[in-house]
Structure 1
Amino acid sequence: MDNTFTARASRDEGWWTVTVDEVPGLFTQTRRLDQIPGMVRDALTLFPDITEDAKGAEVTVVPQGPAADAAHEAAELRNLAREAQEQATASMQAAARELSAGGLTFRDIGSLLGVSYQQAQKLAVQ
């Protein structure tokens, strides 16, 4: 018997209302998202035919609605920004190495890349 459950949470009048995909008719509510797994496990104790180990159930919370959509979009943008920063750093390092190998001073490299000469030196040797 699978002991994994998906709790879908929607915001409604100051509460998170929760339904569980695997248990039709199971409904609970709570004030905070972090309370949902515990609330679902407590509710599962009322369904011994569904799970024998309600306290050990794995509960995945899936927020829905405008708040979840905004948070998801923000998280995606944060990830894109992190990836862009990693690409920019790699490009800066490659450029600093190439310029250094071409005989430019770290002061000139720093001026070209818009960083201090100390940072240009770090980039070139990393």
Structure 2
Amino acid sequence: MTSPAHSRQTLTAEEAADRVGRTPAYFRVLMSKLNHGGRDLRAPAQPGERARRYDADKIDAWVAEGMPVPTKPNTIPTPKPDARKISATATRTGNMWTVNIEEINQGTQTESIRNAHRIAHALAVKKTGLAPDEVTIDLTVELPTETAHQWEKAKTKEMEAKATAALAAKLSRQVVQDLQAQGCTFHDIGEMLGISHQRAQQLASSAVGKES
């Protein structure tokens, strides 16, 4: 598939206003509200560019949604049980997120990951001609290779730490059980192990029914 960064059409503010049937002045007001609402329809900034251009795909997707100007973040309607499931990927490219929907040969970019799912849904609705609740997006966020590696390493260490903590707790419970079996009181156990008698009692209680 052709890279969205190289294939998408960009528009001046005047061209974008004409595309959606609004005056340039009113269009700028709408775009200001969208920007404050966390949705930017402009194309990525280019070196030396005095005014940001608009991404035609984003404009068309916004039109397909009915040109909403939210006072709070938009929500995607709950899909019907038989809604068409379409896969999409969001990949970090520089300071942008590239959203690709290979099934319908569609792609675009957004500055925020929170917009990726909504934009993918809007583009899928526009491309398929289905109703918003007849399409559901399965979005996969692809981490950079090194980031993904570090994340997996962190999760592995976290699992190892939990396993170690579980083993330590089991051994502690066993010690308390053994001392109890020898007739020691919780106060005695606390003194022997350097813990409070309340902690000794807690360990004894947590041991009930937990040993295999």
Normalising by structure 1, what TM-score?
0.69
Q: 1:47 aligns with which of 124, 127, 151?
A: 127
Distance 1:26 1:90 in 2: 54
2:143 corresponds to = 64
Task: Tell me the C-alpha RMSD between the 2 structures.
Answer: 3.0
Identity between Structure 1 and Structure 2 (%): 24
Q: Whose strand fraction is larger, Structure 1's or Structure 2's?
A: 1
Quote the offset at 1:110 in angstroms. 4.0
Quote the offset at 1:17 in angstroms. 1.4
Quote the offset at 1:116 in angstroms. 3.3
Letter in 2 for 1:117: H
SS in 2 for 1:47: helix
1:90 corresponds to = 170
Which structure is richer in relative contact order (CA contacts within 8 A, separation 6 or more)? 1
SS in 1 for 2:90: strand
Unaligned runs of 5+ in 1: none
Letter in 1 for 2:175: A
Aligned length: 123
Describe how 1:23-38 pairs up with structure 2 within 5 A: 23=103, 25-38=105-118
SS in 1 for 2:128: coil
Describe how 1:92-107 pairs up with structure 2 within 5 A: 92-107=172-187
Quote the offset at 1:57 in angstroms. 0.3
* Structure 1 residues 20 and 96: CA distance shift in structure 2, 3 A: farther
CA deviation vs aligned residue, 1:15-59 (integer Å, no higher than 9, x gap)? 1212235x253222223333322121011123216xx34454042
1:75 corresponds to = 155
1:5 corresponds to = 86
